[in-house]
Structure 1
Amino acid sequence: MNTPQRSEETSGRDGPLGAVPLQWMALVVPLRGGARSTAQLLPVLDCKFVNVIKPYALKGGIYFAVQGAGQQPAPGCTNANDTGVTLDLCNLTGIELEDDFVSIGAGERWGKVYDKVIERGLGVTGSRSALGGIGGLALAGDLSFFCSREGFICDNVVDYEII
């Protein structure tokens, strides 16, 4: 991807990486977290979208954070600083049942996963709350109702898709 040059196709807002592409400006919305915050929330549309913005993150200068569908509202936990961009993974959804495992999108919540596996008479080592998001709990560990037998949630992850 070529970085846009200052022209009609950019917003004219310069940052450490140059001008901000206009197509981003349409997607960026104020971060839920208070009127004083200038941080922005950027909804991730699909995995390919992350690859488009990855060069900006790798160059540095703009703080990026990632949030899934979870329940952590505390500023700084899953949010970028006041001038950063938080990538919202809530659109990366999908639950696919295989013989030995379940593939779950980073934007799902555990309640939907439970509904899907229960239809087939199965269980999964996941959050104690149906509102919990997949991403944070699967990375951070967290406890399930089966933790004394199965370990932490992260101990039961077979694979992550790295984008």
Structure 2
Amino acid sequence: MMPHRRTLCWRPSMNLSLEFASSSLDEIKAALAGGTLTFYSVARPLTADHKVDRSAVLATLSFASPAFGTPTDAGETPQFAANPVQGATTGTFGFARATTADGTVVADFSAGPGDREIKLAEVSTSHGAPVRVVSFKFNPEGGWPERPDYYDTHPRAGYPLHKAL
């Protein structure tokens, strides 16, 4: 958890914005009604309060109202206006940013085809290709699959990439 966050009983690994840091899981789900889930290819910013740079939007899904149905053993049941949607540009999924209907940032989630909070059917997308969410879960504390030194990083020409331990 980030030092500026208050301890929550459900301890999310998602990156909450300061405005929602003390919200319950049910309050966060309610805030997403009519909001958006936007996918990017870069590493997630250090906090959800930082802007996303160096990445175009890969795809955007709109949450229905309510944004979530009754959870199952497999995880949450997000309700989208359309799923799949068409990819906006070419890239590999890195994370997703969820916002309210008025555009206020709620949280950043891990996203991709593997063990992520938002599991996608595809590894990457291109313009017009289908992007489909197949599962959604709120990981427990420490559940973010990337190492902390990857946060807010950007590949740069002439610099080595991080090495796996």
Structure number with larger C-alpha Rg: 1
Which structure carries more helix by proportion?
A: 1
TM value normalised by structure 2: 0.24
Of the two structures, which has the highest relative contact order with CA contacts closer than 8 Å and spacing of 6 or more?
2
